[in-house]
């Protein structure tokens, strides 16, 4: 019994671990463009953001979304705190795609890698949309401070393919600043086309039989003959109408039978669709990982409760035996 309970507990634990879905990290990304400056960073191989009013670095992405940006910086404790704004713009700096402002304290003395993420108006993580193959700029601007923030660079014009450092608004093709972009390729979900509306039942026109024209009577010389002719024509017309009505009536059962067959097909298709929906609901219910995990946890709780009751029963039995032994003595 104990082995069975232990086996159930182990199986439940494994099922619960497999059933709990993975939580995707909000900062999942793949590195795209970048250049690593020579470490440790030096003043000689860096530029002051404050002294140059603004610094920049151009790059050409291969991904259509930018999620995170790493900047290789230096902070000098001898200077004041600084306010640094990081922005992503188009190449001509006509459109700011995203920006964020950081307070860089002088106490953060030394080399550092600044992790930059962007947010929308609701403070939700914002992935910057990019067009692969177009040129963009990373722009750094210091709005306050005394030059304590510096951006390290590497004196290698080929460090970033198609990119270059920008110092004081002037592109410097001899070096690239230290940075790394991280993002991914966004694929828009495919929206299925709207379903065609169901076709209406075909309209079957009523069948009509040919109506024969009465043959003219050659004998019309006397009044009696005229009366006889009129009577004959009336009789023929009535017979013709009766024939047409009979033909129409004889066709109506076939039309009704066809419509009844179509209605039976629609009812059978509707019943089949209802059965399919019920089957899909049952399948989705038992394939839900949270439900499977709940069942697994329930089995764990029941197993633990059984083990607890067995221990209590075992202890109670021992105490009862001891008490009985003492009384017999």
For residue range 280-307, list pLDDT tens digits in order. 556 555 556 666 777 778 888 888 888 8
Cβ neighbours of residue 127 under 8 Å, at least 6 residues apart? Answer: 65, 66, 67, 118, 183, 184, 186
Q: Could you read off the pLDDT of 131-166 as tens digits, one per residue?
A: 999 999 999 988 766 567 899 999 999 999 999 999
Given a cut of 50, whether residue 251 has pLDDT beyond it is: no
Minimum mean pLDDT range among 229-238, 290-299, 313-322: 229-238
Is the model's pLDDT at 190 over the cut of 50? yes
Domain residue ranges in the chain: 30-184, 218-280
Determine the pLDDT at residue 164.
96
Residue where the block lists tokens 């700029």: 137
Q: Which residue has the higher pLDDT, 21 or 131?
A: 131
Tokens of 228: 């006889």
Q: Cis before residue 285, ω within 30 degrees of 0?
A: no
Q: How confident is the model at residue 247 (pLDDT cuts 50, 70, 90)?
A: very low
**Residue 90 banded pLDDT, cuts 50, 70, 90:** very high
Q: What is the pTM of this model?
A: 0.52
Is the pLDDT at 7 greater than 50, yes or no? yes
Look at residue 198 and tell me whether its pLDDT is greater than 90: no
C-alpha atoms less than 13 angstroms from C-alpha of 232 in its C-beta half-sphere: 14
Q: For the domain covering 30-184, report its CATH number.
A: 2.60.120
More confident residue, 19 or 51: 51
Measuring CA to CA, which residue among 89, 108, 111, 107 is closest to residue 98?
89
Give whole-number Cα distances, 74 to 35, 142, 241, 255, 260, in Å: 16, 14, 107, 89, 85
Q: Half-sphere exposure of residue 190, counting CA atoms within 13 Å on the CB side?
A: 2
Is the pLDDT at 321 greater than 80? The verdict is: no
Of the segments 107-116, 181-190, 227-236, 268-277, which one has the largest average pLDDT value? 181-190
The answer, yes or no, to whether residue 193 has pLDDT greater than 50, is yes
Question: Does the pLDDT of residue 121 top 70, yes or no?
Answer: yes
State mean pLDDT over 307-329: 72
Q: How far apart are CA 179 and CA 72, in angstroms?
A: 6
Rounded to an integer, the average pLDDT of 300-316 is 82
Question: Angle at CA 230, nearest 5°, toward 226 and 231?
Answer: 115
Spatial separation of the C-alpha atoms in residues 270 and 251, rounded to whole Å: 29
Task: Give the pair of three-digit tokens for residue 169.
Answer: 């608004």
Percent of the chain with pLDDT over 90: 32
Please compute Rg for the chain using Cα positions.
44
Mean pLDDT (the chain, rounded)? 74
Say how far apart CA 225 and CA 217 lie, in whole Å. 9
């Amino acid at each position: 019994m104990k082995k069975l309970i232990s086996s159930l507990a182990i199986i439940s634990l494994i099922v619960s671990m497999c059933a709990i879905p993975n939580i995707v990290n909000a900062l999942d990304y793949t590195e795209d463009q970048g250049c690593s400056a020579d470490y440790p960073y030096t003043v000689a191989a860096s530029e002051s953001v404050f002294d140059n009013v603004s610094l920049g670095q151009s790059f050409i992405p291969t991904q259509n979304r930018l999620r995170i940006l790493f900047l290789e910086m230096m902070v000098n404790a001898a200077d004041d705190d600084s306010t640094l704004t990081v922005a992503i713009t188009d190449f001509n700096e006509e459109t700011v795609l995203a920006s964020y402002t950081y307070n860089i304290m002088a106490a953060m003395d030394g080399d550092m890698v600044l992790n930059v993420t962007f947010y929308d108006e609701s403070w939700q993580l914002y992935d910057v949309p990019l067009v692969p193959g177009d040129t963009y700029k990373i722009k750094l601007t210091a709005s306050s401070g005394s030059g304590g923030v510096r951006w390290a660079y590497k004196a290698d014009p080929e460090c970033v393919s198609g990119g270059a450092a920008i110092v004081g608004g002037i592109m410097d093709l001899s070096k690239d600043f230290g940075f790394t972009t991280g993002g991914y390729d966004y694929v828009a979900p495919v929206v299925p086309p709207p379903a065609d509306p169901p076709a209406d039942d075909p309209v079957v026109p009523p069948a009509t039989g040919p109506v024969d024209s009465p043959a003219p009577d050659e004998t019309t010389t006397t009044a009696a003959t005229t009366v006889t002719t009129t009577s004959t024509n009336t009789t023929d017309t009535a017979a013709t109408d009766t024939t047409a009505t009979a033909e129409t009536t004889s066709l109506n059962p076939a039309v009704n039978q066809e419509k009844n067959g179509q209605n039976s097909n629609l009812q059978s298709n509707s019943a089949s669709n209802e059965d399919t929906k019920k089957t899909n609901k049952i399948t989705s219910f038992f394939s839900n990982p949270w439900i499977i995990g709940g069942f697994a946890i329930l089995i764990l709780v029941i197993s633990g409760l059984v083990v607890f009751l067995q221990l209590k029963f075992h202890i109670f039995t021992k105490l009862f035996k001891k008490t009985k032994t003492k009384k017999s003595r």
